[in-house]
Amino acid sequence: MTKIKKGIPLIDQHDKNGFWGKFGGNFIPETLKKPVEDLTILFEKLRKDKKFLQERDYYFKNWVGAPTPFVKLENLTAHLGGAQIWTKVVSEANGGAHKIYNATVHSLIAKRAGKKYIVGDTGAGYAGKMLSMAAKKFGLKCKIFMGAKDIKRQKPNCDAMRKNGAEIVPVYTGSQTLVDAVSECMRYWVSNCLTTSMCVGSTVGPNIFVKICGWSTSQISRELMLQIKEEFGEIPKKLKLINCVGGGSSSFGFWNEFMHYKKKQVEFIGVEAGGPKKSKRHAAPLTYGSKIGILHGAAQYVNQNTDGQIEETESISAGLDYPGVSPLHCFLKDVKRARYTAATDEEALKAYQLVTEYENLNPSLEPSHAFAEAIKIAPQLSSDTIIIVNSCGDAQKDRDILKQRLGK
Partner 1 sequence: MTISPISLAFEKSRKEKRPALLTYTVAGDNTKKKSLEILNSISNYADICEIGFPHNTPIADGGQIQTSSYRAIKNGIKMIDVFQIVKKFKKNKNAKPIILMGYYNMIYQYGENKFLKKCKEVGVNGLIVVDLPWPDNMHFAKKCKKNLITFVQLLSPTTSRSRAQKIVKNSHDMIYYISMLSTTGGKLKVSPREILKNYNKIKKMIKSKSKNLIIGFGITSKNISSFKTSDGCVVGSEICKKISESIKKRQNPVINVGNMVKKLRRKL
Which parts of 301-330 interact with partner 1 (CB under 8 A)?
304, 306-310
Closer to partner 1 by Cβ: residue 95 or 285: 285
With CB under 8 A as the rule, give the number of residues binding partner 1.
Answer: 36
Minimum CB distance to partner 1, residue 31 (Å):
4
Minimum CB distance to partner 1, residue 46 (Å):
22
> Does 61 contact partner 1 by CB under 8 A?
no
Contact stretch for partner 1 (CB under 8 A) within 96-104, 227-235, 299-307, 351-359: 299-307
> Does 191 contact partner 1 by CB under 8 A?
yes
Minimum CB distance to partner 1, residue 34 (Å):
4
> Does 295 contact partner 1 by CB under 8 A?
yes
> Does 114 contact partner 1 by CB under 8 A?
no
**What angle in degrees, to the nearest 10, is found between the helix axes of 327-334 and 207-217?**
80
270 vs 258: CA distance, rounded Å: 14
> Does 120 contact partner 1 by CB under 8 A?
no
> Does 234 contact partner 1 by CB under 8 A?
no
What is the pattern of x (binds partner 1, CB under 8 A) and - over residues 67-106? ----------------------------------------
| Euclidean distance between the first and the last CA atom of the chain, given in angstroms as a whole number | 50
Structural contact between residues 124 and 400, judged by C-beta atoms closer than 8 angstroms: no
Contact stretch for partner 1 (CB under 8 A) within 32-40, 89-97, 137-145, 348-356: 32-40
> Does 382 contact partner 1 by CB under 8 A?
no
Minimum CB distance to partner 1, residue 231 (Å):
44
Structural contact between residues 304 and 293, judged by C-beta atoms closer than 8 angstroms: yes
> Does 186 contact partner 1 by CB under 8 A?
yes
The residue within the footprint of partner 1, chosen from 4, 27, 63, 335 (CB under 8 A), is 27
Quick one: which of 352, 346, 284 has its CA closest to 316? 346
Minimum CB distance to partner 1, residue 246 (Å):
17
Per the rule left: phi > 0, alpha: psi between -120 and 50, beta: everything else, 165 is left
284 vs 141: CA distance, rounded Å: 34
The residue within the footprint of partner 1, chosen from 1, 6, 7, 17 (CB under 8 A), is 17
> Does 290 contact partner 1 by CB under 8 A?
no
> Does 190 contact partner 1 by CB under 8 A?
yes
266 vs 63: CA distance, rounded Å: 31
Structural contact between residues 14 and 330, judged by C-beta atoms closer than 8 angstroms: no
Structural contact between residues 178 and 205, judged by C-beta atoms closer than 8 angstroms: no
Minimum CB distance to partner 1, residue 177 (Å):
12
Minimum CB distance to partner 1, residue 227 (Å):
40
Please give the residue ranges that form the binding site for partner 1 (CB under 8 A): 17, 25-35, 173-174, 179-180, 183, 186-187, 190-194, 291, 293-297, 304, 306-310
